[in-house]
Structure 1
Amino acid sequence: MRTFTFPVRWAFLSVLALWLAGCTDPYMPDVITSPPSYLVVDGFINSQGVTTIKLSRTYAVASKAAVPVETRATVYIEDEAGTRQLLTESSVKGTYASVAHTLNTARKYRLHINTLAGREYVSDYVPVKTTPPIDSLPWRTDNNGLSIYVNAHDATNATQYYRWEYVETWEINPIYRPSVEYVNNRMRDIVVPYPSICWGNAASTIIQIDKTTALTQDIVSDFRLRLLPINSDLLNSQYSILVQQYALTREEYAYWELLRKNTESIGSLFDPQPAQLTGNVHCISSPDEITLGFIGAHSLSQRRIFIRRQDLPANWRPRTGYESCMPPDSVFIDRPAPPPPNPAFILQGAFAGGAFLPIEELYSQRGVLIGYTAKSKDCIDCRTRGTSVKPSFWP
């Protein structure tokens, strides 16, 4: 166990870190530190459900501020005949949503945006594509880990261009069950226990697309979506993945393919160099202004599977995610020596602010209370890593 004496003894290391940081001056070109603020349009026109569009602005790479969002805009879907459907801004600033609707597949649609600053943007009119259902989400294990695949087909050969996203959910089981807590400068038996289980959640961050134009049939067979290593903590108890499938036009597929190459294929002088990314959204009030995003119109197909720890090979040893939290630390009542007249002062130094939490009492071999085992909040309260509210879809 490590021994902690509070206040924490890191003064020298802090000074050293600041001195080392002062040895170099980072260089950030003006184009990076003060880039133009371009509108970013994220989403698609959902032909069979709710359309959700997110509007934000480009910002400096070095910026530590939150992503700037475009609020109080007027956003609506319109068809070639001029029929409009309004999207309203939700409680999440910069996010606009429609009511559930079913669009006419015989018409073309576009997105129309008027910002509060008076800028007007439109996307190109696009045809409506119907996304076929996901046939299956098989998974297999080997020495590399757990691979999850997607199978789909379109008997009419009308899809040909596919894109997938996914959302993962997994159980989090903390390793500590505190029996004491520090409240109002004193220790007591814990009143409300910390959650014994939480659920983590993460969305895919890579672009996954495929096309069947070179095949005689419009069939996607065993396209790998996810590879989880053998020791992944996501597999420690129970894991779920929700896969979302979209049918794209050829132009929308080309946009996503270029975006994928720009974000994933650059690492050396021999990799493809970044190309200018042009979508189908334009600023009609200022035609020279760059706008980022591609708005397609299609339906959404989705499917979920669950994988339990007992379904995996018996010799697999998934991590808990709490390996760095062991063993627990110790906070002693009678340190530093000589002890101060008020032992609670030491505990207050250790547990003030709640970043460091007690676990249980620590006794000497003679049965005398000498302190408490403790660890950081992230090691004890699983809500720092997820939510304690059980998802509605969880078994």
Structure 2
Amino acid sequence: MTRITSPFSRLLLWLLASLLAGCVDPYKPDVLSSPRSYLVVDGFINTQGVTTIKLSRTFAISSLPKVPAETRATAYIEDATGARYNLVESPVGIYTSAYLNLTPGRAYRLRIATVAGVLYASDFVPAKITPPLDAVDWRPENAGMGIYVSAHDDARATQYYRWEYEETWEIIPSVRPVLEFYNNAIIPIRVPYPTLCWGNERAVAIQLAKTTALNKDVVSDFLLRRLARTSERLFRRYSILVQQHALTKEEYAYWEALQKNTESLGTLFDPQPSQLTGNVHCLSNDAELALGFVGAHSLAQKRIFIERGQLPLDWPYNNGYAGCFPPDTLDPKVRVIPFFSSGYSVPVSQVPGTYLISSPDCVDCRRRGSATRPSFW
């Protein structure tokens, strides 16, 4: 490496850096500061089940801590003959129907009236039947555990597929306190912390496949998910629920564009973001935007479980609490009452002359999941 020792050379470099810095203007796109708020419609018409639609509003990233829900709206599903199927709001911003059994091939759409009286409607779309999942398989690989899905449609009526999945796993903390700080004193614990919790996460990645270029409408061993060998989700018991959607060509194009906008924007060679509006339109004002695509199809789903004993013996165990064991020791010179009153530490047990302590994150698995056993577990 060449070292620059000349003062003149260093001065030139400094001037160049100053000029370059002066040429950079802060980029503040209008959308970040725009006060406009557009309706966002998230969901699909479930032709053989309960339809769930989430209504919310767009917002500036820096203005709100959470997505604002669109409340007190009136929503219903309408078919081409004028028949209506009402949706009821519960909880806030979530609108659900009764169990539906809609006619395949018939056209349906969603209609919405906000509390302010603004009317929206999605385009009419044909009701499709989603074929069942043939298999949800998993296998250990060098890169970790791969989870694969397979499906087919002998009638070639599907061709465009989308998958979602939800994961559930057991959480077992390493540290189990026998003491607690209560009423300015350390006493035997009255209500023990849970020794087992369940983590749960719904994937946000968009998973798509199409079979239009194939002789048969078959999807075989599509890689849906890969977990690292060291994943804490594989510590004892893991489950994944896979949901399959049959899309129209237009709905597939919408999800594909959304996938590119959200997941393929990291280099100069990635596609540039494009504006997505979907098939929902404002009937009260043609210039008013609405975001989302409402399709109409049934839902196919399949759940599998994976036990720790099914995994290779050389895969490491990781319960996610590696930094929590062994517990720390509390210096006996520290005043105990103000120390535990802060809430940052929990007394675990007592040893001669001192206490063993840990953080709430290490002893309370409810901070990482729920202590309520799932109904399917």
TM-score by length of 1: 0.86
Q: What pairs up with 1:151-300 in 2 under 5 angstroms?
A: 151-300=150-299
- Report 1:59-98 matches (<5 A): 59-90=59-90, 92-98=91-97
**1:304 aligned counterpart, secondary structure:** strand
Partner AA of 2:362 in structure 1: C
Equivalent residue, structure 2, for 1:360: 349
CA RMSD after TM alignment: 1.4
CA distance in 1, matches of 2:206, 2:29: 29
| Aligned residue identity for 1:196 | T
1:41-56 matches, within 5 Å, as 41-56=41-56
User: Is residue 46–residue 299 contact of structure 1 (8 Å, CA) maintained in 2?
Assistant: yes
Aligned with residue 347 of structure 1, among 336, 339, 354: 336
Cα distance in 2 between the residues matched to 1:36 and 1:300:
34
d(CA) in 2 for partners of 1:220 and 1:158? Answer: 13
Contact 1:32 / 1:60 at 8 angstroms: preserved in 2?
Answer: yes
Q: Distance in 1 between matches of 2:329 and 2:184?
A: 18
Distance change in 2, residues 1:330/1:30 (3 Å): farther
Which one of 374, 381, 386 corresponds to residue 369 of structure 2? 386
Query: Shift in Å at residue 29 of structure 1?
Result: 4.8
Task: Give the aligned residue type for 2:247.
Answer: L
Which residue does 2:144 correspond to in 1?
145
Q: Distance in 2 between matches of 1:81 and 1:353?
A: 65
Shift in Å at residue 286 of structure 1? 1.0
Q: CA deviation at 1:31?
A: 2.9
* Residues 1:174 and 1:48: Cα distance change in structure 2 (over 3 Å): same
1:383 partner SS: helix
SS in 2 for 1:272: coil
Contact 2:51 2:97 in 1 (8 A): yes
CA deviation profile, 1:91-114 (whole Å, cap 9, x unmatched):
x21000011110112421000000
C-alpha distance in 2 between matches for 1:114 and 1:371:
65
Which stretch shows the higher mean deviation, 208-217 or 317-326?
317-326
Q: Note the C-alpha offset of 1:371.
A: 2.8
Flag structure 2 segments of 5+ consecutive residues without an equivalent: 1-25
Matches of 2:330 and 2:128, distance apart in 1 = 63
What is the alpha-carbon distance in structure 1 between the residues aligned to residue 67 and residue 354 of structure 2?
Answer: 45
Percent identity between matched residues is 58
1:57 partner letter = R
Secondary structure of residue in 2 paired with 1:261? helix
Tell me how far 1:34 sits from its aligned partner.
3.4
Equivalent pair of 1:331/1:374 in contact (CA under 8 Å):
yes
Q: How many residues align?
A: 352
Following the alignment from structure 1 to structure 2, what is the Cα–Cα distance between the partners of residues 300 and 64? 33
| Superposed CA offset, 1:118-148 (max 9, x none) | 1100000000000000011111111100000
Matched AA of 1:232: S
Q: Distance in 1 between matches of 2:133 and 2:362?
A: 39
> Does structure 1 conserve the Cα–Cα contact (< 8 Å) formed by 2:244 and 2:299?
yes
Once the 2 structures are TM-superposed, how far is the Cα of residue 331 of structure 1 from its aligned partner?
A: 2.5
Offset at 1:30?
A: 4.8
SS of residue matched to 2:164: strand
Structure 1 contact 331–350 (Cα < 8 Å) conserved: no
Cα distance in structure 1, aligned partners of 2:50 and 2:31: 38
1:35 Cα deviation after fit = 4.7
Q: d(CA) in 2 for partners of 1:29 and 1:212? A: 39
CA contact (8 A) 2:175 2:325 kept: no
Corresponding residue for 1:22? none
Unmatched tracts of structure 1, length 5 or more: 1-25, 336-345, 364-369
